[in-house]
Amino acid sequence: MMTGTRRLSRFLRVFAQVMLIATPVALSAATVRIIQTNSAGDNIHLIDPATNKVVGVIDGIEVNHGAAAGPEGTRLYVSNEADHSLDFVDARTLKVTQKVKLSGRPNNVAISQDGNHVYIAIRQEPGAVDVVDTRSARLIKSVATGGSVHNPFVTPDGRYVIAGLIEARKLVVIDGKTEEPAWTMSFDRGVRPIAFEQNADGSTRRMFVQLSDFHGFAVVDFAQRKEVNRISLPELPPAERHTQGLQGSPSHGIGVAPGGKTLWVNSKVNSYVYAYSLPDLAFLGGVHVGDHPDWLTFSPDGTSLYVANAGSNSVSVVDVATRKEVTRIPVGQVPKRNVTVVLQ
């Protein structure tokens, strides 16, 4: 028979094990944030997806472009076009703590899965992907790309960094281990945002690539390194089309929802976000959002979609299951890039 002391000891051990498992989940659920940059302002908004309210503001980063956070969740990294720097932000105080000088004017950013390296698109010739080590807060490398870079992406398996180039009309695939170019792929138009579909083993199956002056996206077989299809978004009557302020990208902002069952694509032409099923890419329908939707991100469970509306200074929250806009959140001036992060 188990004595009272032994029973208590066993209970304490089991309780400790449960807490070790449960506590990180609870913390993560409580600290999910949508980070919304504002490209024509000097502040960044943090949205709580549980309430769809702005719960924090980062001030003092002028012409902020891209944002990222590592798995430790204690810092944010923001590209600063005014200062040509990558700014480190304390996740608790929301204050800039360090600035790393870059090789040129930055655009968007991406981060390695371990959080040790941030990849920054350098949007001026000769172009590069700058690599900043987050542990030492130093620029450790500039990967030559043969042209200025607009957006970098890390593939979902973490194996590659993909750099999209507008003027050079190509993407450059960089090996994540060596951080050297592995291969390139050319297009007839400039490369804009990219989304990724995975194989069962987590590797990249297809890329969905938005292109300059094309109202739709290209479908690229990653293993074959070739374009296999090009899909146009729904045709619109001329009277319903927005023609001003498209900046050469009538469709800008694309993403695969968590779970990999749907692809969502922005349209600046009529302020819609459209959904397609995966893997067959069957058209599912669209949702009217704010003016000139420019980027999108999802809640971690994939139930909600957050669309940055550059033309109406707002973020539309879309229910993925019903394809309905549920609310619109006011943010700063010309919101563009947004990203979902977990902070501690």
Mind listing the pLDDT tens digit for each residue in 151-169?
999 999 999 999 999 999 9
pLDDT at site 3: 47
Q: Which of 12-16, 168-172, 247-251 has the highest mean pLDDT?
A: 168-172
User: H or E segment at 321?
Assistant: none
Distance CA 162, CA 151 (A): 8
pLDDT at site 214: 97
Q: Could you tell me which residue, 264 or 243, shows the higher pLDDT?
A: 264
Q: What value does the mean pLDDT take over residues 241-255?
A: 86
Q: Is the pLDDT of residue 197 over 90?
A: yes
Q: Is the pLDDT of residue 117 over 80?
A: yes
Q: Is the pLDDT of residue 12 over 60?
A: no
Distance CA 227, CA 286 (A): 25
C-beta separation of 185 from 225 below 8 A: yes
pLDDT at site 247: 81
pLDDT at site 205: 98
Q: Which of 155, 150, 157, 51 is nearest to 108 (CA)?
A: 150
Distance CA 89, CA 95 (A): 5
User: H or E segment at 15?
Assistant: helix 4-30
From the number of C-beta atoms within 10 Å of its C-beta (0-12, 13-18, 19+), residue 164 rates as: buried
pLDDT at site 13: 40
Determine what percent of the chain is predicted with pLDDT higher than 70: 91
β partners of residue 105: none
pLDDT class of 246 with cuts at 50, 70, 90: confident
Distance CA 296, CA 129 (A): 22
Q: Is the pLDDT of residue 268 over 90?
A: yes
pLDDT class of 284 with cuts at 50, 70, 90: very high
pLDDT class of 235 with cuts at 50, 70, 90: confident
Distance CA 277, CA 259 (A): 12
Phi, psi (deg, nearest 5) at residue 241: -90, 135
Per residue in 69-115, pLDDT (tens digit) is 999 999 999 999 999 999 999 999 999 999 999 999 999 999 999 99
pLDDT at site 241: 77
pLDDT class of 236 with cuts at 50, 70, 90: confident
Per residue in 303-327, pLDDT (tens digit) is 999 999 999 999 999 999 999 999 9
pLDDT at site 294: 97
Q: Is the peptide bond before 126 cis (omega within 30 degrees of 0)?
A: yes
User: H or E segment at 239?
Assistant: none
Take residue 16 and report the two structure tokens written for it: 């400790």
pLDDT class of 15 with cuts at 50, 70, 90: very low
Q: What value does the mean pLDDT take over residues 35-61?
A: 97
pLDDT at site 245: 73
C-beta separation of 181 from 131 below 8 A: no
User: H or E segment at 223?
Assistant: none
Distance CA 27, CA 235 (A): 45
Fold of 34-234+325-342: Methylamine Dehydrogenase; Chain H (2.130.10)
pLDDT at site 242: 75
β partners of residue 88: 77, 98
C-beta separation of 307 from 286 below 8 A: no
pLDDT at site 28: 39
How much is the mean pLDDT over the chain?
91
